Structure 1
Amino acid sequence: MIGAAKGVIRSMLCDGQYKSEVIPVDYAINGLIVIAFETATANPKPEQIPVYNITCAEKKKLPWETVMNLGKKLGYEYPFEAGVWYPDGGITTSKLYHTINVILFHWLPAYLIDFLLLCAGQKRFMVRVQTRISTGLDVLQFFTTRAWDFKSENYEKLYTNLSEKEKKIFNMDTDSIDDEEYLKVGILGGRQYIMKEPLSTLPKARKQLKALYILDRTVKTLLLGFLLYFIFSRTGLLDVMLESFGLAK
């Protein structure tokens, strides 16, 4: 989410219809503690080793497309300070389309920025950052391009066996999670504690986001206009259009 919000990640291989396996880390830690307790105190010991999939209940699993769209919406409401470009990436299942996007919007800008930094005598970093991002995406995309079916019945039973006091201390109830609030907290947390951007900079960041939006649309319009002009002039369509408007020389 941080990479996308900073305009660094513009494309990701992901089937939006597959369901995400996302759970808050404190719920996962609580689950690990309860599993260890259950394993140590079980009497008699089970004949087969029990398997616990720490994941949310099936009805709580959101499609990746929903997660991405919600994350983008919240990213616009609570933007990070100006990044590489306007955050407007997307997901796709086409490896060819993804590869083209990665070359055009990941690697070319990274090399261009590093070249400008080199000319200015500054330390280069964008290619290194993009390499780390690509490595991370390769790992994540293994999961986002495949359908997974992790059953969580055993994990859910652990929570029902806890006392009311234990349930408050070791909360594992994913049904109570507000998905939008969870992502919002994730974005604001990443903003403050990873990027070191205090909440007081939000008004400034929103102005920067508007400026980046105008710049993004302007550049894309100019590039599209140049491309169309080049194609029309090469194919003779430009002369035909000029003649139809009575503008031909």
Structure 2
Amino acid sequence: TAAWKEPYPGWVDNISGITGILMECGRGTIKSIICDDSCNMELIPVDIVVNLVITAAWYIGISRPNSVKVYNCTSSQMNPITWKHFGIITTRNMTVYPTKYVTWYPGFSFTKYRNLHKVSSFFHHTIPSTLLDLYLYLSGQKPM
């Protein structure tokens, strides 16, 4: 996930994980996500995790504990946010700050039911991409 403070707010060096998923939701290419939207998210800024790892290594180095220590870096106790609330914020921001690389109407929905996700994916992903490939093929271009 993106950084909170270091090296600067919002810094991210790749588009994997939640960053890539949200980017594609904003472009309109992801319409259905399997997720129980009532669950809390555990997205921790990268600089917080790195600081925890450095601090844990330092502590273990100076204290030499006899037992194995387990360190957790979570946010749900102090700053909880559900996937549903995150989806609402994300959808609002996609409308207020749209990308210029929109492929289809931005927006997405969560479902915890695998079969419903498969049906939604078929209608929102498979059929449109097949029709686009057919159009490209018939117009003499290389299908995607």
CA gap of 1:39–1:121, structure 2 versus 1, over 3 A, is: farther
Does 1:38 find its partner at 2:59? yes
Partner of 2:31: 10
Offset at residue 101 of structure 1 (A): 0.5
Partner of 2:45: 24
Q: What is the SS of the residue equivalent to 1:58?
A: coil
Q: What is the SS of the residue equivalent to 2:103?
A: coil
Partner of 1:58: 77
Aligned residues: 123
Offset at residue 90 of structure 1 (A): 0.7
> Aligned match of 1:48 in 63, 67, 86?
67
Partner of 1:86: 105
Q: AA paired with 1:52? A: Y
**Contact kept in structure 1, 2:42 and 2:76, CA below 8 Å:** no
Offset at residue 82 of structure 1 (A): 4.3
Offset at residue 55 of structure 1 (A): 2.0
C-alpha distance in 1, partners of 2:132/2:59? 54
Q: What is the SS of the residue equivalent to 1:12?
A: strand
Partner of 1:140: none
The equivalences for 1:178-193 within 5 A come to none
Q: AA paired with 1:33? A: I
- Unaligned ranges ≥5, structure 1: 126-249
Q: AA paired with 2:108? A: G
**Contact kept in structure 1, 2:28 and 2:103, CA below 8 Å:** yes
Offset at residue 11 of structure 1 (A): 0.7
Q: Identify the structure with the greater helix proportion.
A: 1
The equivalences for 1:108-119 within 5 A come to 108-119=127-138
| 1:108-130 deviations in Å (ceiling 9; x for gaps) | 111222222223333433xxxxx
Q: What is the SS of the residue equivalent to 1:38?
A: helix
TM-score (norm 1): 0.46
TM-score (norm 2): 0.77
C-alpha distance in 1, partners of 2:120/2:71? 39
Does 1:124 find its partner at 2:143? yes
C-alpha distance in 2, partners of 1:81/1:116? 23
| 1:216-239 deviations in Å (ceiling 9; x for gaps) | xxxxxxxxxxxxxxxxxxxxxxxx
Offset at residue 49 of structure 1 (A): 0.7
Does 1:101 find its partner at 2:120? yes
Q: What is the SS of the residue equivalent to 1:91?
A: strand
Partner of 2:19: none
Offset at residue 73 of structure 1 (A): 0.8
C-alpha distance in 2, partners of 1:114/1:121? 11
Cα RMSD between the aligned structures? Answer: 1.6
Q: What is the SS of the residue equivalent to 1:60?
A: coil
- Unaligned ranges ≥5, structure 2: 1-21
